[in-house]
Amino acid sequence: MDDGTGTLRGLFARAFGTWSGKKEIEAIAVDQALGHVEFSDSLACFGTEGFADDREGISIHELDAKTGYVVVSNKQANTFRISPREGTATDPHAHPLITNVSLGTLDSVERELTMAELLEFPGGLLVAMSTDKTFHYYAWADIAKAAGSKVPE
């Protein structure tokens, strides 16, 4: 916000959840269509089981306005965990594991996902960075193939 003198300052809008104090919050994604904020350390902690250690990034893969996938980097296991975006029939905030996919990253510390149809990346593009700063590019169709029949293209 401009204070009228050309100086920008932040304006606190709201807080949510409670930090556990155990680890820093490194993974966060906003699902505006469903009104969810997914992050790795809160009252409703995402990914409390099945991770080697760090949950370094969360991305939302939208199939339509209400369905899709939550993709989370399982850093030390060198995999990406895929869960249903819409949750379960009884709990929209539950995201049980659908599948765990190994894509060749090493300690993936950052990644981004777009659903845009890009020339050589049908169904979208996942970009992941390994600890050694190598960037990996994956078409969503390739991720779906690696996941078998558990995740459609």
The 10s digit of each residue's pLDDT in 92-131 is 888 888 888 888 887 776 678 888 888 888 788 888 888 8
- pLDDT at site 64: 87
Query: How many Cβ atoms from other residues are within 10 Å of residue 33's Cβ?
Result: 13
pTM over 0.75? The answer is: no
Please tell me the distance from the alpha carbon of residue 36 to that of residue 52, in angstroms, as a whole number: 25
Residue pointed to by tokens 């078998």: 148
Determine the pLDDT at residue 46: 57
Q: What is the pLDDT of residue 123?
A: 82
DSSP string, 91-119: -TT-----EEE--S-SS--EEEEE-S-BT
User: So what's the pLDDT on residue 44?
Assistant: 46
For residue 143, give the 3-state DSSP assignment. Answer: helix
10-residue block means of pLDDT along the chain (153 residues)?
77 72 72 79 56 69 87 81 88 86 77 82 85 87 76 63
Element containing residue 37 per DSSP (H, E): strand 36-39
